[in-house]
Amino acid sequence: MDSVLGVVIAFAVLGICFFLLGHCFCALFQREEGIVFQMLLGAVLFLAVFSVIELPVEKLNLPFHVLVIVESLAFLLLLGACVVYCVRSGEIGAIKKWKAPDTMTIVFLVLIALQVLYGMNNGIRINGYDTSYYTGHAATTLYTDTMYQYSARSGEYTGMEAYVHDGYPMLIAFLSKVFFMHPLVMANRVLACMEIVLMNMVVYEIAYRLSAGKKRIANWTTAIYAAMSIFCYEFEEGRAFYLWQRTAESKSMLANVYLPLALLAMILLAKEAQGIYHWLILGLVALVGVSLSISGIFILTAMIGSGLLAILICQRRWRYLFNSVLCMIPSMIVGMIRLFL
């Protein structure tokens, strides 16, 4: 599977998983959402399920193959339930008239494709010191069937990693095992492409929501952001720097996917705070960001906390203070476990 075709297959399978999870989640709450939002939501759900299972398996110091088995069974059951729901609801197997995509959709897809081609050919430069930590742990995990028991850079047996870490290397290792790929291919190609696509989707969705559903404005916003990202990636420590030069690291996903997703969730909450739908989305984003990025424990928590405080004060929604605390409890528990255990 370490080929262009293998990368395409892995990317397509993950895309189908994201769509099924996102679509069924929206249907569960009887929400009509666009396919872009469903894909984003599905990606968050996929990563959240992985994170919830990975943490206890890691902390119990179990072999890596246990994680692979448990994660695989969980996703098979979950995706199987989604397929059953779609069949019973008549969404699979029904003969539907094919509708050609409009011009705005085509432009959006072409824009993403051009960025993927750029990133895979001459944009991404994955050669940093931190990068070796993530790919090193993933490779060592696959070859030793252990989790964080060997040094990521030297291969020396340590018994248990003393350095505070996140679950991103285990995500790379798990997907590599499932798709029979080398971890470098998984991190630098599959997950890199996934990050580029998700980044464009979340920028599009933020602009779409803020412009009251105007696709043209959303497309122009995405295009302008893409151009700025490509031309400004040499400025270190910016989001574009992490996108094009440090894509194999969890910091890149935090900067370009988790933080913008948190912003999107808070925009939705500012418009509609009733019910648990948007609160649950924000809680899932926080959980994923904290679980898969150590930096997210501090940055994401501070961002969401300040954003919710602004919503509560400016819109005088103090009755939602309990919801604000409740949706952050899971991520705070995970953060404390990562830092202190």
**By CB neighbour count within 10 A (0-12 exposed, 13-18 middle, 19+ buried), where does 2 fall?**
middle
Residue 169 forms part of a structural domain = yes
Residue 249 forms part of a structural domain = yes
What is the per-residue pLDDT for 162?
A: 64
Over range 151-176, report the average pLDDT. 86
Distance CA 38, CA 191 (A): 19
- Amino acid found at 287: L
Contacts of 66 by beta carbon, 8 Å cutoff, 6+ apart: 57
Residue 100 forms part of a structural domain = no
Domain extent, residue 68, equals 4-93+107-340
pLDDT band at 95 (very low <50, low <70, confident <90, very high): very low
What is the per-residue pLDDT for 97?
A: 55
Residue 56 forms part of a structural domain = yes
Q: Of 87 and 268, which is predicted with more confidence?
A: 268
> Would the pTM of this model clear 0.85, i.e. be above it?
yes
DSSP secondary structure of 276-341: SHHHHHHHHHHHHHHHH-HHHHHHHHHHHHHHHHHHHHHTT-GGGHHHHHHHHHHHHHHHHHHHH-
What is the per-residue pLDDT for 27?
A: 92
Residue 185 forms part of a structural domain = yes
Q: Where are the alpha helices (DSSP H) in the chain?
A: 4-28, 35-59, 64-88, 103-118, 129-144, 168-179, 183-185, 191-210, 215-231, 239-245, 250-253, 259-271, 277-292, 294-314, 321-340
What is the per-residue pLDDT for 158?
A: 84
What is the per-residue pLDDT for 236?
A: 64
Task: Give the count of domains, the chain.
Answer: 1
Residue 17 forms part of a structural domain = yes
Q: Name the one residue in this structure whose structure tokens are 């497309």.
A: 219
SS3 (DSSP) at 168 = helix
Residue 101 forms part of a structural domain = no
Distance CA 148, CA 154 (A): 13
Distance CA 286, CA 297 (A): 9
What is the per-residue pLDDT for 96?
A: 53
pLDDT in tens, 188-244: 899 999 999 999 999 999 999 999 999 899 999 999 998 888 877 666 666 777 788
SS3 (DSSP) at 142 = helix
pLDDT band at 16 (very low <50, low <70, confident <90, very high): very high
Residue 99 forms part of a structural domain = no
Choice among 9-23, 28-42, 241-255, 299-313 with the minimum mean pLDDT: 241-255
Output phi, psi for 272, to 5 deg: -150, 110
